[in-house]
Amino acid sequence: MNVEISDVTRRFGRTQAVSGVRLETGPGVFGLLGPNGAGKTTLLRMMATVIQPSSGRVRLLGRDPGGYGPRREIRRRLGYLPQSLGYYPGFTVAEFVEYFALLKEMPPGQVPRAVATAIERVDLGSRARSKLRTLSGGMLRRVGVAQAIVNEPELLLLDEPTAGLDPEQRVAFRALLRDLGEQATVVVSTHLVEDVGAACSEVALMDAGKIVFQGTPDELIARGEGTGAAGDAPLERGYSAVLAAARSATAVA
């Protein structure tokens, strides 16, 4: 298992963002669904070793990120796209990706090729020398993906990766996700269920800091069948049905 999370809790002051989460996943594309404020981003930040859990245990790529050495090894093998990614407006696309390749301690001699490859894979080859300030929001998102995959990560964490992408780019991006998932563990946090249906082999649904469902997309679809849950597509109905069931259970409790 590349990701092993058990009984993880994270508090910010009095707010409990993540509560008793258990999660295990290996290679493939793993979708993390949930409404806004469900705790997806906090969970991803813990998996990215940006923040530590308040309690519980996290193991990534077979290592404990609590120790400096293992954490550094994890980070070398990690790709991360935060939800709200900023950028350095004066950098070019290539410089930005190169910058993070160097921060990921890639061998300098191999950085240029890796940067070019990453940029090509997000279809920004023609804009490699463009300053970031000249790019659209969708293009910037793709730059963020490029920096995340530049080191060919074994664990790739993408927080709302398709936000701002046009339909054509979203389709292309899902294909890229499937490719990446053949060799690495890709965790995609999103509230767009169609992304999950198209690219993920496994999905978890979070609500109020807890995982309320974990299974395949087909299993999620099955949860919505015959429930009359709201949604235009089967996956959306499954999503709505699981959420409704979880909330009613919480209310009863």
Residues forming the site for other proteins (CB under 8 A): 45, 48-50, 68, 71-73, 75-76, 78, 80, 82, 84-88, 90-91, 95, 98-100, 102-108, 110-111, 114, 117, 120-123, 125, 147, 151-152, 169, 172-173, 175-176, 179-180, 182-183
User: Would you state the structure tokens that stand for residue 123, as one six-digit string?
Assistant: 């279809």
In angstroms, give the least distance from the CB of 62 to other proteins: 16
Q: What is the DSSP letter of 147?
A: H
Long-range interactions of 171-176: CB distance < 8 A, separation 24+ = 171/198, 172/123, 173/122, 173/142, 173/145, 174/198, 174/199, 176/121, 176/122, 176/145
Residue 44 C-alpha from the chain's centroid: 7
Helix/strand/coil for 182: coil
In angstroms, give the least distance from the CB of 162 to other proteins: 12
Q: Which is nearer to other proteins, 124 or 200 (CB)?
A: 124
Q: Which is nearer to other proteins, 5 or 229 (CB)?
A: 5
In angstroms, give the least distance from the CB of 101 to other proteins: 9
In angstroms, give the least distance from the CB of 71 to other proteins: 7
Q: Which is nearer to other proteins, 104 or 223 (CB)?
A: 104
In angstroms, give the least distance from the CB of 30 to other proteins: 17
Q: Which is nearer to other proteins, 28 or 238 (CB)?
A: 28
| DSSP result, 40-97 | HHHHHHHHTTSS--SEEEEEETTB-TTSHHHHHHHHHTEEEE-SS----TTSBHHHHH
User: 193 phi and psi, to 5 degrees?
Assistant: -65, -25
Segment holding 159, helix H or strand E: strand 155-159
Q: Which is nearer to other proteins, 86 or 226 (CB)?
A: 86
In angstroms, give the least distance from the CB of 27 to other proteins: 12
| Residues 55, 6 contacting (CB under 8 angstroms) | no
| Residues 78, 106 contacting (CB under 8 angstroms) | no
Q: Which is nearer to other proteins, 145 or 229 (CB)?
A: 145
In angstroms, give the least distance from the CB of 69 to other proteins: 8
Q: Which is nearer to other proteins, 148 or 221 (CB)?
A: 148
